[in-house]
């Protein structure tokens, strides 16, 4: 049986939303983010980030710069006993017409293939409507966190998230209620 995967948006879900994080020093974890990731891993889920990073496509950030930001993210998480299994990035600007920009499914499919996961048994956690749309399109259970832009999101009836949580730890607790300690 293929494993379950927790797919996480980055900005506003794991780290504090700052419009664009362009320097590693600007990256700051949201309280309970590392604890949430630790709990997801304890539940036996693989954990991967799926993030649109248009500053690259806009010429505001280089791939090396983004790599430095993700190295800092990994170090901050590791400092709190948490670890990611992968980071999947769309570097394109919104108008580029790529298939990898959320709500497109290319990054999710790549993560699932790399990590041996079944998207229909997986979870997508984010703070924006686009995250919920992406997770729904993949057949994943979706959770909107109230960090970042979460409180500002509205949905048409029947198109909202499967659940809402205060933060990533709250999302992990909801997932635990579904999958238990297996």
Residues 6+ apart with CB under 8 A from 97: none
Q: Among residues 9, 127, 131, 167, which one is catalytic?
A: 9
d(CA 128, CA 92): 18
Question: Which two tokens mark 116?
Answer: 């041996």
Contact in structure between 180 and 39 (CB atoms under 8 Å): no
Q: Which of 11, 127, 131, 167 is catalytic?
A: 11
Structure-token pair, residue 120: 């229909």
Is there a catalytic annotation at residue 127? no
The question of whether 96 is a catalytic residue gets the answer no
Active-site residues: which are they? 9, 11
């Amino acid at each position: 049986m293929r494993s379950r995967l927790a797919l996480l948006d980055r900005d506003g879900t794991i780290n504090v939303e700052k419009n664009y994080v362009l320097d590693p020093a600007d990256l700051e974890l949201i309280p309970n983010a590392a604890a949430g990731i630790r709990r997801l891993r304890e539940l036996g889920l693989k954990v991967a980030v799926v993030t649109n990073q248009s500053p690259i496509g806009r010429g505001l950030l280089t791939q090396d710069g983004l790599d430095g930001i993700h190295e800092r993210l990994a170090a901050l998480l590791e400092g709190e006993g948490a670890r990611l299994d992968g980071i999947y990035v769309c570097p394109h600007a919104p108008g580029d017409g790529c298939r990898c920009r959320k709500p497109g499914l290319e990054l999710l499919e790549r993560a699932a293939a790399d990590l041996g996961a079944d998207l229909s048994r997986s979870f997508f956690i984010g703070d924006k409507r686009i995250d919920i749309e992406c997770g729904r399109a993949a057949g994943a259970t979706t959770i909107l966190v109230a960090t970042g832009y979460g409180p500002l999101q509205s949905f048409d009836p029947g198109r909202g998230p499967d659940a809402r949580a205060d933060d990533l730890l709250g999302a992990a607790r909801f997932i635990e209620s579904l999958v238990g300690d297996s």
